[in-house]
Structure 1
Amino acid sequence: MVRIARERVSSFIKKYFFEGQRLASDESQTALDETFLEVFVRKHRKVIGFAIPFCFFNFVWWSLAIRYDLFKLFPERYQMSITMIFGALIAGMTSEGGGAIAFPVMTLVLHIEPAISRDFSLMIQSCGMTAASFVIIWMGIVIEWHSVVFCSLGAVGGVIFGLEVIDPRLTAAQKKMGFVSIWFSFAMALFLLNIRRNRRTFDKIPDFKLWKMIVLIVTGFLGGNFTAFSGSGVDICSFSILTLLFHVSEKVAVPTSVILMAINTLVGFYWRQFIMAEVSEEAWEYLAVCVPIVVFVAPFATCAASYFHRLVLASFIYVLETVALIGGFVIVKPDWALTAISASIVVAGFFFFLVLSRLEVAVEHGSMDLDAVRVMEKEVETVQVT
């Protein structure tokens, strides 16, 4: 009995936590005439992928830290250093950027102004998510490039519009509760979708067409607006559309959302610092005590998550969004009006996401026949590297 139990536990761990990376090319088919350098890079791609962004960001940080004595900030700002260990883990492993941890912790627990929390989220993700994105591209992990390109186009306009128009019109409590409510409803819909047996998933959007491009641009614009007041949004919006509407696997949607968020935060950071010129000194101080942490943890988490089963990645979303919603109500203690609005957002958002999940876009009722779907499923364009 003990042996059987051990075998089951071992099988469970291998299936869900060591499924293998999904790569864009088969590295086992190597050329016989590879040079020594090419062989070295191929064999040590993981280490090199980590080392390049890690060394770059640390060179910049240590030179500035020594020049301006940034070490004196740690005794007062160390809470954010600890917070971003977990924030960077979440950013690398899920569709939620580090801002999904930083924003609620800073606003709900540390009682920091939402504007400062948002700016810090943009700034720190522009470092951590960029480092993680480099690792994703360097290692050749499969991503959905249609989403990266067209969601980014919409997100650029969305984050600028949100910073200039939407953000000033929302109260701090509305930002906090709106953020946790809409994404809790998404988590519920994703859960219901994944309890369906034999769910068909793809590595890319099937039969890409003009209307799908428009959907991605609109999704990016809406996500950019969320990013404008909370520091995170386009990543979750893209993830929800890819998984629920287009039936893309979570193993592909997660690294795609990481690259999207890196691009969006760079735009938001640029706009806040150089156009609006409103990034506070406090936000810069929080950034200073977190950069060395996130540029290591986020890429590490991205690499680790690439080996996980898609259901493990989805489970992280369920837990995070539930904790965030409960924490929002406990800490913010919204009045009855805001509570009613939040509840309405949860219900309406849940049904919206549920409708998306029920649309069998992969088949499209005749526009793409079942034979084509089967062919797509059997395409040998990815490999499992354990």
Structure 2
Amino acid sequence: MTLQTPRKRFLWVWGLWLIAFYGVWAFLITADGALQAAIAHWPMALAMAVGSYAAGSTPMGGGTVGFPVLVLLFDMPATLGRDFSFAVQSIGMVSAAIFIMARRQPLAWAMLKGALAGGLIGTPIGIIFFAPLVPELWIKVIFAVLWGSFGVLHLYRINEISGNVGMTEFDEHWDHKTGFVLGLGASLLAVSVTGVGIDMVLYAALVLLCRADLKIAIPTSVVIMAAASVYGVLIKSITHSWQPGVYENWLAAAPVVALGAPLGVFIVERIGRKPILLIVAALCVGQFIWTCFAERQALGFMGIALAILALCFCLWVFERLRRWGRSLVLRVRKQERARRLPVGEGSAAAE
């Protein structure tokens, strides 16, 4: 199910990626007005210095910071925040994913492959048919609810989540099928609307259902978000549906996130994931409160109440996943104990 970490690493592959990226970026920045545009958008580069670090060290893509900075802080359209998430993660998350795989870190491959297959179907359908139907206000609220619930989950379950060791071995066919369903739903309903979400969904399944170690769950979430972001960029480019302003912000932030996200992967192994998760969880809850406050007139009392109910519903889903995971783990442990018993003792125990 997972890839065991061998001794040989291939960091030169990541080095080649950096050389290629910075070569392309240096070429793009020489175009008329490109350098001035990048300098003018320096606040986004500064914000993504923090966001990219969180993207590499937590199960949250760089868009988790880029979206609220553009939409809540700079008062830009939510569609711009979503498209920027795709664009910036296609560099930062990809750089982190290449770094992870070059170092041969363990990944939950069966569930990851299933989620990738589901995303291949759900992302284009969501971007082309579903996302255009979602109003700007709803995009903001959906983003706030998803990551607000994720933050609350970690604030009260952090000890349990960070205490997982290894990963419960279920049937690989089951893992693949589960990953496919999660990838399809998350890419269709979350990624296409907000630019993020499939990483959080897969991570939640790994830590709550499979009781996966954070050393497996977080790198797996980084890889799936990297793939989803590149796919999103491809679809947005084919359909010519980019929002104005994405490229200028990307020019400023891309050279920062190319190093920032892998740096997060590297440093978190030395300082531990729990402190970073707690900080980011608090920020996720904070952005939910900020969104409700900033949009209080548009939402009204009923809208804010519905947003809170939606957050509670997400928490209920997380808890159902946790209970389901607990029952699955107990079943696997019983099967393992039965296999270890001699034939005669196993028959007697069954009787």
TM-score class, shorter-chain normalisation, is 0.7 to 0.9
TM-fit CA distance, 1:195: 3.8
1:74, 1:266 → 2: CA distance? 22
Partner of residue 24, structure 1: 4
Matched, 1:145 2:145: no
Whether 1:369 aligns to 2:335 is yes
Q: Tell me: CA distance 1:368–1:169, structure 2 relative to 1, closer, same or farther (3 Å).
A: farther
Q: Aligned to 1:335, what secondary structure does the other structure show?
A: helix
Go from structure 1 to structure 2 and tell me whether the alpha carbon gap of 1:81 and 1:355 turns closer, same or farther (over 3 Å shift).
same
Match of 1:353 among 318, 322, 325: 318
Q: Which residue of 2 aligns with 1:164?
A: 128
Following superposition, the deviation at residue 67 of structure 1 comes to 3.8
The residue correspondences of 1:280-291 to structure 2 (distance < 5 A) are 280-291=243-254
Q: Normalising by structure 1, report the TM-score.
A: 0.79
Aligned CA RMSD, in angstroms, stands at 2.6
Q: Which runs of 5+ in 2 are unaligned?
A: 341-351
Structure 1 residues 92 and 65: alpha-carbon distance in aligned structure 2, compared to 1, 3 A threshold: same
Aligned residues: 335
Q: Match of 1:340, as an amino acid?
A: A
Q: Aligned pair 1:337/2:302, yes or no?
A: yes
Corresponding residue of 1:80: 44
Per-residue deviation, residues 210-267 of structure 1 (Å, max 9, x unmatched):
3432221111112213111111111111111111111111221111111101100111
The whole-number CA distance in structure 2 between the counterparts of 1:194 and 1:369 is 29
Whether 1:270 and 2:270 are equivalent positions in the alignment is no
Matched with 2:349 is none
Q: Using the aligned pairs only, state the percent identity.
A: 21
Q: Which moved more, 1:92-101 or 1:49-58?
A: 49-58
1:219 equivalenced with 2:190 (yes/no): no
Alignment check: 8 A CA contact 1:362 1:368 kept: no
Match of 2:348 in 1: none
Change (3 A) 1:278 1:23: closer
Displacement of 1:335 in angstroms is 1.7
Structure 2: distance between partners of 1:221 and 1:189: 23
Aligned mates of 1:313, 1:76 — CA distance in 2: 30
2:129 is matched by which residue type in structure 1?
V
For residue 203 of structure 2, what is the aligned residue in structure 1? 239
Question: In 2, Cα distance between the equivalents of 1:188 and 1:355?
Answer: 15
1:206 to 149, 169, 192: 169
Which moves more between the two structures, 364-373 or 316-325? 364-373
Is the contact made by 1:207 and 1:368 (CA closer than 8 Å) also made in structure 2?
no
For 2:29, what is the secondary structure of its paired residue? helix
CA offsets 1:123-182 (integer angstroms, 9 cap, x no match): 111111111111101111111111221111111222212212321222211111121213
Instruction: Give the secondary-structure state (helix, strand or coil) at the position aligned to 1:369.
Output: helix
Give the drift of 1:361: 4.7
Aligned with 2:256 (options 285, 288, 293): 293
SS at match of 2:17: helix
Separation of aligned partners in 2, 1:198 and 1:131: 25
TM-score by length of 2: 0.87
Contact conserved, 1:88 with 1:301, CA < 8 A, in 2?
Answer: yes
* Residue 270 of structure 1: how far off its partner (Å): 0.7
1:70-219 equivalent positions in 2, closer than 5 A: 70-196=34-160, 199-203=163-167, 205-219=168-182
Does residue 259 in structure 1 map to residue 223 in structure 2?
yes
More helix per residue: 1 or 2? Answer: 2
Gaps of 5+ in 1: 1-21, 31-41, 375-386
Q: CA deviation at 1:373?
A: 11
Amino acid at match of 1:343: I
Residues 94 and 316, structure 1, Cα contact 8 Å, conserved in 2: no
Q: Is the 8 A contact 2:90 2:233 kept in 1?
A: yes
Q: Distance in 2 between matches of 1:173 and 1:93?
A: 30
**2: distance between equivalents of 1:84 and 1:198?**
26
- Partner residue, 1:3: none
Q: In the aligned structure 1, how far is the partner of 2:81 from the partner of 2:234?
A: 16
For the pair 1:279 / 2:259, whether they are aligned, the reply is no
Amino acid at match of 1:369: Q
Cα distance in structure 1, aligned partners of 2:68 and 2:323: 31
Q: Deviations over 1:176-195 (max 9, x none)?
A: 11212133223333444344
Q: Which of residues 44, 48, 54 in structure 1 aligns to 2:18?
A: 54
